[in-house]
């Protein structure tokens, strides 16, 4: 298998090798998407697994007009939201004050570790903040769309986004200072 | 990420995260890859099974069709009228064996007519011998016709088709031999008009057809008329209006789901799709009464299984009624509670693998109206009606995957599916074809579709209606 198109075509035909290649190609990127929504990697992998199952079941519905990666990404986001909806009562939204100060590594702040830390910051947000921040910043949705999707008011969406930003800024400030020292 | 970006403002935080996570990937764990491999393998196996099932259904349907067609052809062949005279002539050898007088056992004083070219196909020579021989000998016939010692004669069959049979007597052989002529002879006698040459004679023969006929020393054997059923309303009823039938039908079942509008917190979409390899069966007996020649009422008693395969699904431990951790598997049929170890943290997850399934067993009582569209030896009919379905057993077989298990997985069976109704009302309709193999007995095949008027779930955020395609095979007996 050489190209994405060939892998899609092979997967549609039920070729197990093509499905494996598609997994390999997209698992890393999609796991990041899921991890932004879920609180840990284990949960994110569960969602990713179910997302891929759905991808293979619905693959014939991909019309090829848009980005395949974008199409899968939407599926992963929807799966993540589905899991969040189910587990909200299991994981009551944490109080803002209950979150511990976030200790971030000063090593290689411009490389992958920094990216991992950024990811962890997002994961540490309360579910509602995390969800709205992700939908707004990474999926590019408007507050109206977010409100409709989550069944909340636009005001709540804006308010939660603002709180999420404040929280993230508060956590990232120490890193900024540390990195300035390191690079200064 | 550079210093400028790190030195962010209030709204610049969005860009920091976008840039920081752009092109970033996370390598899945080894357990994820092993589960993925398991999923792909299961998918492949399911595809193979599905393909096999499809071909099995096609092969089964083809077999049924072939059996039905063959039975029909054989049956209609057995009951068909004797072939017309000219057809029968074709069955005779095109070139009759010409016997010399001594060969035919004839005395010199008996004139042996020769065979006219036009009459050869009537097997005339054989008959002529008989006609002109005052006392034909069976031995002569056997010898010259190459008949076996024991033969049976069917007037519809050619010489070559005469087969060995113990019920032989001379009169049958003779009747066979003279039959083409005897019938014409009878007709001609009734007409009493100018007698046309029955058997050709050559110019040298002194024996005319008329004289041959007049000299026939044999009793004319009347042709037997095969029983021929009359069409439609003219058909004479030979059986009672009551009938019984036994049927077996493989079922391809499934569930049609819809949201319960009264519950907005849960969507049936949240369940995900059900599996596709849902093979069940239905077997039982029916009794019917023909109200008219076209319409019948029928009821019966059946046992039916509905199978639903479950696609892989992640389950999360939730607090049970007593606060203990349980895994709740919500399916289209209902909820199955799977006990977890007391130490399992709430929110911990495990996977239900794809070889999990649920089975429901029902006693089904149908009330159907049957309409006969074609009523001959081959009967074509349609039927439709309501069914009452009593749940008598349920089972869920799950295959759980968890790294904490000794072998990485375990299989469990549960008899209780929470939320399934004990009874639901359904419907059933289809087409049927039956072929009589005797006056009372017939075989049948019926493609049908059954569904549910009411949901099989109660107190559920979604409604599920069972449906199934079936192809019944069975027998029907008219009293």
The residue with tokens 């083409």 is B180
Residues of chain A in contact with residue B10, where contact means CB-CB under 8 angstroms, are 165, 169
Q: Which of A43, A50, A137 sits opposite B17 (nearest CB)?
A: A137
Same domain, yes or no: A110 and A73 = no
Both A58 and A111 in one domain: the answer is no
Q: Is there a domain that residue A100 lies in?
A: no
CA triplet A180, B1, B6: central angle to 5 degrees? 45
Asked whether residue A110 is domain-assigned, the answer is: yes
Choose the mutation target among A115, A119, A164 for the interface with B, i.e. most B CBs under 10 Å.
A115
> Residue B339 pairs with which residues in a beta bridge?
B326
Q: Which residues of B73-89 are buried (b: 16+ CB within 10 A; e: fewer)?
A: eebeeeeeeeeeeeebb
Return the percent helix, strand and coil in chain A, to nearest 5: 75, 0, 25
Residue A48 in contact with partner chain B when CB distance is under 8 A: yes
Look at A19 and B43 and tell me if their CB atoms are within 8 Å: yes
Q: Is residue A94 part of a domain?
A: no
The 10 Å Cβ neighbour count of residue B363 is 16
C-alpha to C-alpha distances, A168 to A125, A171, B366, nearest whole angstrom: 8, 5, 65
pLDDT of residue B432: 94
Query: Taking CB atoms and an 8 Å cutoff, what residues of chain B touch A57?
Result: 273, 311
B160 CB within 8 Å of a chain A CB: no
Bridge pairing between strands B242-259 and B295-310:
unpaired
In B172-215 the beta strands, taken as DSSP E runs, fall at none
Q: Domain check: are A8 and A69 in the same one?
A: yes
Asked if B28 and A53 come within 8 Å (Cβ–Cβ), the reply is no
Residue B463: the pLDDT is 82
Last residue of a domain, one of A87, A116, A134: A87
Q: Are A111 and A64 in the same domain?
A: no
The dihedral built from the CA positions of residue A80, A82, A86 and A89, taken in this order, carries a sign that is: positive
Looking up residue A13, the CATH number of its domain turns out to be 1.10.1740.10
Q: Which tokens in the block code for residue A92? A: 């009551």
Q: Two tokens at B262? A: 């009264």
Instruction: Give the distance from residue B254's alpha carbon to the nearest chain A alpha carbon, in angstroms.
Output: 17
The CA distance from B11 to B9, in Å, is 6
At A87-99, the pLDDT tens digits run: 654 343 444 443 3
Query: Could you tell me the pTM of the whole model?
Result: 0.46
The reply to whether A13 and A56 lie within a common domain is yes
Is A124 part of any domain?
A: yes
Contact B26 A122 (CB under 8 A): no
Residues A82 and A129 in one domain: no
**A25 against B12, higher pLDDT:** A25
**A94 chain-B contacts, CB cut-off 8 A:** none
Q: Are residues A60 and A122 in the same domain?
A: no
Q: Is the ipTM beyond the 0.90 threshold?
A: no
For tokens 């058997």, the residue is B199
**Number of domains observed in the structure of chain A:** 2
Whether B17 contacts chain A with CB within 8 A: yes
Residue B393 DSSP code: E
Is residue A115 domain-shared with residue A152, that is, in the same domain?
yes
What is the distance between the terminal CA atoms of chain B, rounded to a whole angstrom?
90
**Cβ atoms B437, B411 nearer than 8 A:** no
State which of A40, A59, A87 marks the end of a domain: A87
pLDDT, position A117: 84
CA–CA dist B127, B323 (Å, integer): 102
Which residues 6+ apart lie within 8 Å of B423 measured at CB?
B388, B389, B390, B391
What DSSP character marks residue A139? S
Please state, as a whole number, how many other Cβ atoms lie within 10 Å of the Cβ of residue A1. 18
Q: Are residues A82 and A8 in the same domain?
A: yes
Terminal CA-to-CA distance of chain A, rounded, Å? 48
Contact B382, B374 (CB under 8 A): no
| Positions of chain B with pLDDT lower than 70, given as ranges | 1-11, 73-238, 260-273, 276-277, 354, 402-408
Q: For residue A140, which residues of chain B lie inside 8 Å, CB to CB? A: none
Predicted pLDDT of residue A88: 55
Residues 115 to 174 of A: which have CB under 8 A from any B CB?
A: 115-116, 118-119, 122, 136-138, 165, 168-169, 172
The rounded distance, in Å, linking the Cα atoms of B416 and B424 is 17
Q: Is residue A49 situated within a structural domain?
A: yes
Contacts of B215 (CB under 8 A, 6+ apart): B131, B132
CA nearest A21: which of A39, A42, A40, A4?
A4
Task: Examine the domain organization and report whether A41 and A73 are in the same domain.
Answer: yes
- Chain B, nearest residue to A182 by Cα: B3
Q: Do residue A112 and residue A83 come from a single domain?
A: no
List Cα–Cα distances, B463 to A86, A142, B266, B457, B460, in angstroms.
19, 34, 12, 6, 7
Determine the structural domain holding residue A121 and report its residue range: 106-183
Short-list B258, B316, B311, B246, CA closest to B282 = B246
Residues A110 and A146 in one domain: yes
Among residues A24, A54, A87, the one where a domain terminates is: A87
Using CB atoms, pick whichever of B26, B311, B346 lies closest to residue A90. B346
Assign residue A120 the CATH number of its domain: 1.10.10.10
Which residues of chain A neighbour B24 with C-beta distances below 8 Å?
32, 112, 115-116, 119
Quote the CA–CA distance of B468 and B452 in Å, as a whole number: 10
β-bridge partners, B432? B381
Domain presence at residue A25: yes
Residue A155 lies in a domain: yes
Q: Which chain B residues contact residue A172 at CB under 8 A? A: 6, 8, 13, 16
Name chain A contacts of B349, Cβ cutoff 8 Å: 42-43, 46
Q: Are B249 and B296 in contact (CB under 8 A)?
A: no
How far apart CA B49 and CA B354 sit, in angstroms, is 13
- Window 337-376 of B: residues touching A by CB (8 A cutoff) are 346-347, 349, 351
Q: What pLDDT is stored for residue B46 in this prediction?
A: 75
Q: What is the mean pLDDT of residues A129-151?
A: 89
Q: How far is CA A12 from the centre of its chain?
A: 26
Nearest to B36 among A49, A85, A183 (CB): A49
In a domain, A97, yes or no: no
């Amino acid at each position: 298998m050489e190209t994405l198109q060939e892998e899609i075509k092979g997967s549609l035909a039920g070729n197990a090798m093509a499905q494996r290649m598609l997994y390999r190609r997209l698992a890393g990127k999609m796991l990041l998407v899921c991890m932004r929504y879920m609180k840990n990697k284990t949960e994110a992998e569960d969602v990713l697994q179910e997302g891929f199952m759905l991808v293979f079941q619905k693959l014939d519905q991909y019309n090829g007009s848009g980005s395949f990666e974008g199409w899968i990404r939407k599926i992963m986001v929807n799966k993540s939201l589905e899991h969040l909806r189910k587990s909200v009562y299991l994981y009551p939204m944490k109080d803002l004050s209950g979150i511990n100060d976030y200790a971030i590594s000063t090593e290689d702040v411009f490389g992958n570790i920094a990216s991992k830390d950024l990811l962890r910051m997002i994961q540490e947000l309360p579910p509602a903040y995390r969800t709205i921040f992700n939908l707004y910043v990474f999926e590019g949705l408007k507050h109206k769309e977010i409100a409709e999707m989550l069944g909340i008011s636009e005001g709540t969406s804006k308010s939660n986004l603002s709180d999420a930003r404040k929280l993230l800024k508060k956590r990232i400030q120490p890193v900024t200072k540390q990195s300035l020292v390191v690079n200064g | 990420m550079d210093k400028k970006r790190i030195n962010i403002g209030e709204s610049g935080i969005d860009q920091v995260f976008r840039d920081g996570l752009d092109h970033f990937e996370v390598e899945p764990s080894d357990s994820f890859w092993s589960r993925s491999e398991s999923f792909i393998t299961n998918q492949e196996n399911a595809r193979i099974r599905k393909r096999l099932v499809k071909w099995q259904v096609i092969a089964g349907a083809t077999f049924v069709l072939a059996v039905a067609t063959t039975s029909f052809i054989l049956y209609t062949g057995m009951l068909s009228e004797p072939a017309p005279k000219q057809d029968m002539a074709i069955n005779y050898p095109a070139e009759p064996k010409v016997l010399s007088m001594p060969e035919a056992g004839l005395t010199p004083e008996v004139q042996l007519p020769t065979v006219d070219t036009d009459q050869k196909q009537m097997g005339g020579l054989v008959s002529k011998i008989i006609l002109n021989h005052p006392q034909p000998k069976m031995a002569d016939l056997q010898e010259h016709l190459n008949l076996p010692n024991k033969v049976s004669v069917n007037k519809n069959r050619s010489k070559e088709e005469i087969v060995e049979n113990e019920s032989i007597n001379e009169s049958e052989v003779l009747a066979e031999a003279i039959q083409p002529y005897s019938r014409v002879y009878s007709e001609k006698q009734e007409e009493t008009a100018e007698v046309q040459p029955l058997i050709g004679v050559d110019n040298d023969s002194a024996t005319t057809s008329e004289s041959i006929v007049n000299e026939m020393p044999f009793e004319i054997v009347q042709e037997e008329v095969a029983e021929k059923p009359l069409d439609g309303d003219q058909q004479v009823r030979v059986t009672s209006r009551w009938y019984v039938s036994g049927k077996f039908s493989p079922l391809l079942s499934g569930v049609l789901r819809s949201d319960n509008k009264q519950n907005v917190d849960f969507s049936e979409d949240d369940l995900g799709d059900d599996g596709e390899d849902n093979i069940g069966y239905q077997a039982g007996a029916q009794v019917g009464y023909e109200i008219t020649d076209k319409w019948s009422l029928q009821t019966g008693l059946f046992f039916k299984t509905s199978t639903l395969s479950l696609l892989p699904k992640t389950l999360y431990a939730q607090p049970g009624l007593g606060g203990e951790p349980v895994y709740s598997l919500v399916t289209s049929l209902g909820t199955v509670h799977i006990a977890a170890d007391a130490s399992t943290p709430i929110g911990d997850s495990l996977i239900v693998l794809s070889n999990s399934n649920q089975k429901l067993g029902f006693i089904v009582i149908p009330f159907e109206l049957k309409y006969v569209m074609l009523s001959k030896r081959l009967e074509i009919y349609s039927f439709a009606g309501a069914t009452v379905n009593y749940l008598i057993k349920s089972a869920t077989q799950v295959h759980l995957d968890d790294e904490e298990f000794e072998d990485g997985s375990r299989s469990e069976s549960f008899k209780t599916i929470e939320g399934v109704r004990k009874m639901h009302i359904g419907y059933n309709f289809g087409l049927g074809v039956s072929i009589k193999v005797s006056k009372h007995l017939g075989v049948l095949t019926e493609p049908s579709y059954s569904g549910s008027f009411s949901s099989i779930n109660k107190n559920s955020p979604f409604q599920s209606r069972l449906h199934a395609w079936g192809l019944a095979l069975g027998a029907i007996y008219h009293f």
